[in-house]
Amino acid sequence: MCFRCCELNRRSLLIGGGAAAASLATGVAQARIRPADMHPLIGPGFRPTDRDEIGLWQQMDRVEEEVAGSNLLIKDPELIRYLQQRIGEVGGPAAKDMRIYLARIPDFNAVMFPSGFSVIFSGLLLRMRNEAQLSGVIAHESGHFLRRHMIRMWRDMRRKSDIFAIGAMVAGVAGAGAGVNTGDITQLAQLGTILSLFRYNRVMEAEADAMGVRLLAENGYPPIEMANTWEQLIGEQDASARHRRKRRDRGYSLFSTHPAPGARMADLKVSAAEATVPGRAYDNRRGRYLQAISPIRKTLLDDQVKLNDPGASQYLIETLARDGWNGLLRFYEAEVWRLRNRSGDDVRAAQGYAIAVAYADAPPEAWRWHGLSLMKAGRQAEARAALSRYLSMQPNAADAPFIRQMIS
């Protein structure tokens, strides 16, 4: 149950096989689910009572133990408390039961596990422009838990694979008795079953989106921010693809587990308008968000620019800068150019570093690269000044002895 996952356990589907008839698979179009119709299906302190769900939770306890002990986790206690507070806000009735983990993975995603713990990828925190956007994703993930999506999906899969197995066997035996080979029909039924499983998954995602909009609005966040998140993601994917001279994967086919980003954004916009109460004040709480992520924002940017995806990185930095440039963003903008290394990029990067150091909050590395660029351009005196500034800001840097030797 992830926010935008691409991986899919095809093996489980193949093991599951298909169901009785292709008629189970219906058309591609699918109606929007209204936020007002989304009610939580569980209350506070939910524990499973059905046999299949107890088994699932027992497995998940082991998974959570592994996740909690993973060395990929960012363990900044302040930040984790902040994230936990967000789930405590938009988590509906299960707010106090859900747990949240932050993994250092520079990608845009979040996952909710069946037993109510969620893993947020660090790349998500980089992309969110304010607390409302972050809470939107968390509300979506909470929606999966509140609507009991994992167990419902499991049961759907089990039911359909049972029907398929029985159907195929009965059809085979009956067909053989009547002297007909039912192999083709069985294959068609299998495809039908698989398609219907994918469709069920997309319905769940749409439900989580609607539930998320509702939770967001109820907590005083502008619900339109959920649609904005998608707009940003689509823009980023377009920019990344354009840079590689490719076209963005439209992300929609019969085999998609998630609705297409474009369709999701459109539905979210309508839902947001529906959930917004006229006259009520909504606040995206941007200041509080930036303060919370400030200890790791540099790491987030650093991880992103090193992905070697200049199209996406540049788009991201420009999107974040829509709320105002600062030294950190300017420095990483120049880093994108330097690492891209096309013709003219060195000059562009040098200018970028020069702009970055004009900001009071420029990171030490901006001074370092500014100095090195100046040195390359033959402006020794200015280079020395910039590099001395770097050394004074970061006297214990790994490369400090080299830099000292360069300017001595």
Partner 1 sequence: MRHLGIALVLALTVPVAGCVQTRQFADLQFTPPQGDYRLLVMRPDVTVNSVTTGGMPEPRADWTEQARANIIAALRAQQAERGGKVQIMARRNELRGVSEDMVADLERLHGAVGNSIALHKYLGAYLPTKPRRGLDYTLGAEAVELGRKTGFDYALFMHAEDNIVSRGRVALQVLGIAGCFVGFCAPNIGGGGQFAYASLVDLKTGEVVWFNVVQTGSQIAGLKMGDIRSPAGSAQLVERLVGRMKPGYEIRRARERR
Is residue 77 part of the contact set for partner 1 (CB under 8 A)? Answer: no
CB of 304 to partner 1, least distance (A): 27
Residues 233-271 as b/e (b if ≥16 CB within 10 A, e otherwise) read bbbbbebbeebeeeebeebeeeebbbbbbebbbebbbeb
Beta carbon nearer to partner 1, 156 or 302: 156
Which of 110, 138, 157, 227 touches partner 1 by CB under 8 A? 157
Q: How many residues bind partner 1 (CB under 8 A)?
A: 31
Nearer Cβ to partner 1, position 17 or 192?
17
Candidate ranges 8-16, 104-112, 138-146, 291-299; the one touching partner 1 (CB under 8 A): 8-16
Nearer to partner 1, 56 or 339 (CB): 56
Q: How far apart are CA 137 and CA 5, in angstroms?
A: 13
Question: Minimal CA–CA distance to 85: which of 102, 104, 99?
Answer: 99
Exactly one of 118, 135, 161, 257 binds partner 1 (CB under 8 A); which one?
161
Residue span binding partner 1 (CB under 8 A) among the ranges 30-38, 133-141, 152-160, 368-376: 152-160
Which range touches partner 1 (CB under 8 A), out of 46-54, 145-153, 275-283, 311-319?
Answer: 46-54
Q: Given the complex with partner 1, which of 133 and 193 has the nearer CB atom?
A: 193
Nearest approach, Cβ of residue 17 and partner 1 (Å): 6
Task: For residue 288, state whether it binds partner 1 (rule: CB under 8 A).
Answer: no
Query: Closer to partner 1 at the Cβ: 160 or 368?
Result: 160
Nearer to partner 1, 47 or 306 (CB): 47
Token readout for 179 is 């002297």
| Residue 72 near partner 1 by CB under 8 A | no
Binder among 34, 79, 109, 175 for partner 1 (CB under 8 A): 175
Out of 27, 45, 49, 69, the residue judged to bind partner 1 by CB under 8 A: 69
Per CB under 8 A, the list member of 172, 220, 251, 364 interacting with partner 1 is: 172
| Residue 16 binding partner 1, by CB under 8 A | yes
- The window from 1-9, 15-23, 223-231, 377-385 that contacts partner 1 (CB under 8 A) reads 15-23
Nearer of residues 190 and 284 to partner 1, judged by Cβ:
190
Report how far residue 217's alpha carbon sits from residue 310's, in angstroms, rounded to the nearest whole number: 35
**Least distance in angstroms from the C-beta of 272 to partner 1:** 38
Q: Quick one: which of 58, 187, 294, 351 contacts partner 1 (CB under 8 A)?
A: 58
Task: Give min distance, CB of 168 to partner 1, in A.
Answer: 9
Upper half-sphere CA count for residue 266 (Cβ side, 13 Å): 8
Closest to partner 1 by CB, 59 vs 85, is 59
Residues 305-343 as b/e (b if ≥16 CB within 10 A, e otherwise) read beeebbbbbbbbbebbeeeebbbbbbbbbbbbbbebeee
**Binding site residues, partner 1, CB under 8 A:** 12, 15-17, 51-52, 54-59, 66, 69, 154, 157-158, 160-166, 169-170, 172-173, 175-177
